[in-house]
Amino acid sequence: MTLTAPETSTRAAPAVPGRSRSTLARRLVPYGYLSPTVLLIVVLMVVPIVMVIGYSFRDNVIVQENSVFAGFANYTKVLTDESFLAALKNTGVFISVSTLAHLVLGLTFAMMLNSPLLGGVTKAIFRIVYILPWLFTIAVIAVIWRLLLDPAGVVNHVLQTLGLIQEGVNWFSDPGMALWAVTFVNIWAGYPFFMISLLAALQGIPNDLYEAAAVDGTNWFQRFFHVTLPQLRPVIISMAVLDLIWTSHQFALIWMTTGGGPLNATEMLSTFTYKQAFSEYEFATASAAAVIVLLLTMVLAFFYVRSQRER
């Protein structure tokens, strides 16, 4: 098994004095650590991705046996498709607002849950309450929010009873409201990811940093911006990258609440691709759209890798 590779190479080390250890073996150490990952990702991820890239240059893939090379035709088709451009724009709004809100809510909740002012039991109870949205599969989240936000549902009922609105709001079916409604639901469903990771990261900040800052007579805001945030930075950047990518994959939530409608108001790259593939049977254009998303994400990956180096 590949996992043993780093072990053998390093276990031999203590026997020989450190400096005379073979340089080749030492150079191979990191690759040993990486080998299981690389093996899995290459076999199970890179292979299908290469196939998708292959599809994107052909015509009539999958649904017909003799597909032909089509050059960049699928790319031209996708890039000139109005719904694709609308989907790109909606996805941009959806993922950036979601990620920002996840970060702000996750950080706020994590800091409150980490506050030294509160007792252990209070914190434990709130911790449970705060992770609740996390526990449910996305199909159920979509269903429960459809019930809550139904025109005759409980949210409208409560708002009407409180006199905040006169008429029931069509949260999901009003073209001007739908995108914000699905974004809200996604924010609700996703913040615990940030919260939990940041809560764990907050524990890792050495106390003496705060003590030193307190000795310097700093206030809460200064400590937050000069100690907490810089310490959390690697975790925040990593999570933001992941969340941007994951949110762009969010399919079931949108499909099961608005289906991309009304009037394409919530059409995302994910729903666009799905419709292309499984409703229009245009796997080639779906693949081309996927490759475009891949290229866009590589830009993100580039910035992520750069941020890692700066450390």
Residues 85-144 that bind another protein (CB under 8 A): 105, 108-109, 112-113, 115, 117-118, 120, 122, 124, 126-140, 143-144
Nearer to another protein, 204 or 216 (CB): 204
| Spatial distance between the Cα atoms of 10 and 253, rounded to a whole number of angstroms | 47
175: preceding bond cis by omega (within 30 degrees)? no
If binding is defined by CB under 8 A, does position 73 make contact with another protein? no
Binding of another protein by 70 (CB under 8 A): no
Closest separation between CB of residue 286 and another protein, Å? Answer: 5
Distance CA 180, CA 186 (A): 10
Site residues (CB under 8 A) for another protein, limited to 171-230: 172-175, 178, 188, 193, 196-197, 199-201, 203-206
Q: How big is the site for another protein, counted in residues (CB under 8 A)?
A: 142
Q: Which is nearer to another protein, 93 or 131 (CB)?
A: 131
Token pair recorded at residue 106: 């996750």
First-residue to last-residue Cα distance in the chain:
33
| Shortest Å distance, C-beta 76 to another protein | 17
Q: Which of 150, 159, 210, 223 binds another protein (CB under 8 A)?
A: 150
289 in contact with another protein (CB under 8 A): yes
Asked if residues 272 and 91 have their Cβ atoms less than 8 Å apart, the reply is: no
User: Around Cβ 179, how many Cβ atoms within 10 Å?
Assistant: 20
* Of 223, 236, 241, 230, residue with least CA distance to 197: 236
Owner of token pair 């990486």:
34
d(CA 258, CA 181): 10
Nearer Cβ to another protein (70/293): 293
Residues between 223 and 262 that touch another protein (CB under 8 A): 231, 234-235, 237-239, 241-242, 245, 248-249, 251-252, 255-262
Minimum CB distance to another protein smaller for 183 or for 197: 197
Beta bridge partners of 217: none
